Amino acid sequence: MKKKNVFIQGAITPDFIANSIAKHQSKTTIGAHDIFLGQVRADEIDGKTVTAIEYTAYEEMANTKFDEIRERAFDKFELTCSHIYHSLGAVKAGELCLFVFVSSPRRKEAMKALEYLVETIKAETPIFGKEIFKDETHQWKVNS
C-alpha cells in the first residue's frame, strides 16, 4: 500500500466525493460502498454559536497513522478499497471535514470496517480542532 496524503485544504466538497465514487465503478467485484462524512455542527455553547472549525494536524505522524489504520482494516475485514480524507484549515458549519470510504464485495464487511475506521481515526490520529465562535472567540474541540 503506497503512502497517501489524507489531508485536503479546507472543506471536502460533494463533487470530490462524487468523483471518488465514480472512480470505483470499474471495480466490478465491489458490491457495497459505505461512506462516512463528518460535518461541522453549528453547536451552541454557553450562548455562543460555532461558525467554523479550524483544523491543524501533526501531518507526518497523522499520515503514517492513517496508513497503519487502513492496513489494520484490510487485515480485519474483506475490503476491496479504503480511502480517508480529512480537512486542514477552516471548515465552516455545514461543510464536510472528514470523508471515509470503504468498498467490499459484501455489505456487512464494509459496514464493520467503516465503523472501525471512523472510531480509530477519532481516537488515534493527531488532529486538532479550534471551534471558532461568531464573536471570534474560540475553544478547543475534544473528541468524545
The residue among 15 and 60 lying less far from another protein, judged by its C-beta, is 60
Interface pick for another protein out of 18, 23, 128, 134 (rule CB under 8 A): 128
126 interacts with another protein by CB under 8 A: yes
123 interacts with another protein by CB under 8 A: yes
| CB of residue 98 to another protein, shortest distance in Å | 4
Q: Can you give the binding site for its own copies, defined by CB under 8 A?
A: 14-15, 17-19, 21-22, 24-42, 93-96, 103, 105, 107, 110-111, 114-115, 118
Q: What is the 3-state secondary structure (H, E, C) of the chain?
A: CCCCCCEEECCECHHHHHHHHHHHHHCCCCCEEEEEEEECCCCEECCEEEEEEEEEECHHHHHHHHHHHHHHHHHHCCCCEEEEEEEEEEEECCCEEEEEEEEECCHHHHHHHHHHHHHHHHHHCCEEEEEEECCCCEEEECCC
- Quick one: cell of 79? 475490503
Query: Which region, judged by CB under 8 A, interacts with another protein, from 12-20, 21-29, 72-80, 124-132?
Result: 124-132
Binding mask 30-69 for another protein (x = CB under 8 A): --------x----------------xxxx-xxx-x-----
Angle at the Cα of 35 from the Cα atoms of 91 and 53, rounded to 5 degrees? 15
143 interacts with another protein by CB under 8 A: yes
| CB of residue 135 to its own copies, shortest distance in Å | 17
